[in-house]
Amino acid sequence: MSSDITNGLGDIDPEWAPNPEELPRWFVDALAVPREEGFVEVDGTGIHYFRWGQRGKPPVLMTHGFLAHARCFAFIAPFLANDYDVVAYDLSAMGDSAVRENCDMAARGREMIGVAWALGLFDADRKPAIVAHSFGASVALEALEQLPGGFAGAATCDMMTLRPAMLEAFWAGGHTSPGSGNPDKPQRIYPDFATARSRYKLSPPQQVGEPFLMDYMAYHSLRRVEGGWSWKFSPAVFNRDNSRADWLAIGPKLVSAPGRKVIVHGEESLLFTRDSRNFVHELGGTDIPIIAIPNSRHHLMLDQPLAFLAAIRSVLGCWLWPPG
């Protein structure tokens, strides 16, 4: 394990923020909070992480959606640092983490548990709570199943949860399952950052409430390589079972996974809709609190970061506070 204590102000690079004085004060203050950055080895794979707060305080483990990275929480987690020990990590083959040979969901669930063990999150008086967005929320459910009773609970944030009829209609329209791709296709190299930035798209496509956060996420989704810029994620992420059966099983898995769950979603999301709420209830998940973030779609932290933070604070306050 290797790590350094710095802060996130180095994330503000003139490539994406040519006028840093125009950035909101809350964002700059968040990045100024001290954070640990490092790598732990989980099953032979180097996993990149950030950590805020004080060890021994109630632990929180955060992770991101497909092809994203831990910095989607880098302006959220610092606001929790006074009360919690917060870790956000890059899923293997995404962000700055190394590539794992097997990227199936079972391996990712073991990886999440492994990160928590490696960073001592199970050593605190309270069990760690999980906060995970989109694809990461599916990983969280896998971890709950693999380690029943090991976590305080999981906040699943805008995980795609649609009833089978809607999924079947989606596929019938000629669409492939989300997260599909060719693992053998090499990453494209762009001649400069501006060209690469123009290719950064959200899935599903949407405008965001805070465009500067889109620039921030785009910049840190890329790396300089010989000949220009390329994406950080590895095409190996597509070397996985992405069957329709798995998508059809998400709703039942959400309801049946052991432990406490909370659903946080964008009120205008296409992936967790008003009908998704009904679907979860029909499956028997009437005991799962569901929190809608107003004026937000799938990418909650880019649309309404402070409202999203408030929802997460409320959940953690119920589960983990006061400590001891």
Residues 28-41 pLDDT 10s: 999 999 999 999 99
Q: Within 13 Å and on the Cβ side, how many CA atoms surround 98?
A: 13
Structural contact between residues 228 and 316, judged by C-beta atoms closer than 8 angstroms: no
Report angle CA 115, 118, 121 to the nearest 5 degrees: 80
Separation in Å, CA 262 to CA 59, 64, 218, 255, 284: 17, 16, 28, 11, 14
> Using 50, 70 and 90 to split pLDDT, how confident is the model at 173?
confident
Separation in Å, CA 261 to CA 16, 112, 141, 255, 287: 36, 17, 9, 8, 9
Structural contact between residues 69 and 34, judged by C-beta atoms closer than 8 angstroms: no
Q: Is 269 strand, coil or helix?
A: coil
Residue 98: burial class (beta carbons within 10 Å; 0-12, 13-18, 19+): middle
Candidates 184, 60, 78; CA nearest to 130 is 60
Q: Is 183 a residue whose pLDDT tops 90? A: no
Q: State the average pLDDT over residues 280-298.
A: 98
Nearest-angstrom CA–CA distance, 134 and 142 = 13
Which residue has better confidence, 126 or 240?
Answer: 126
Q: Is 323 a residue whose pLDDT tops 70? A: no
Q: Is 324 a residue whose pLDDT tops 60? A: no
Lowest mean pLDDT among 107-116, 212-221, 315-324: 315-324
Nearest-angstrom CA–CA distance, 15 and 220 = 11
Question: Cis before residue 204, ω within 30 degrees of 0?
Answer: yes
- Tell whether pTM > 0.85: yes
Nearest-angstrom CA–CA distance, 299 and 310 = 16
Residues 118-131 pLDDT 10s: 999 999 999 999 99
Structural contact between residues 286 and 53, judged by C-beta atoms closer than 8 angstroms: no
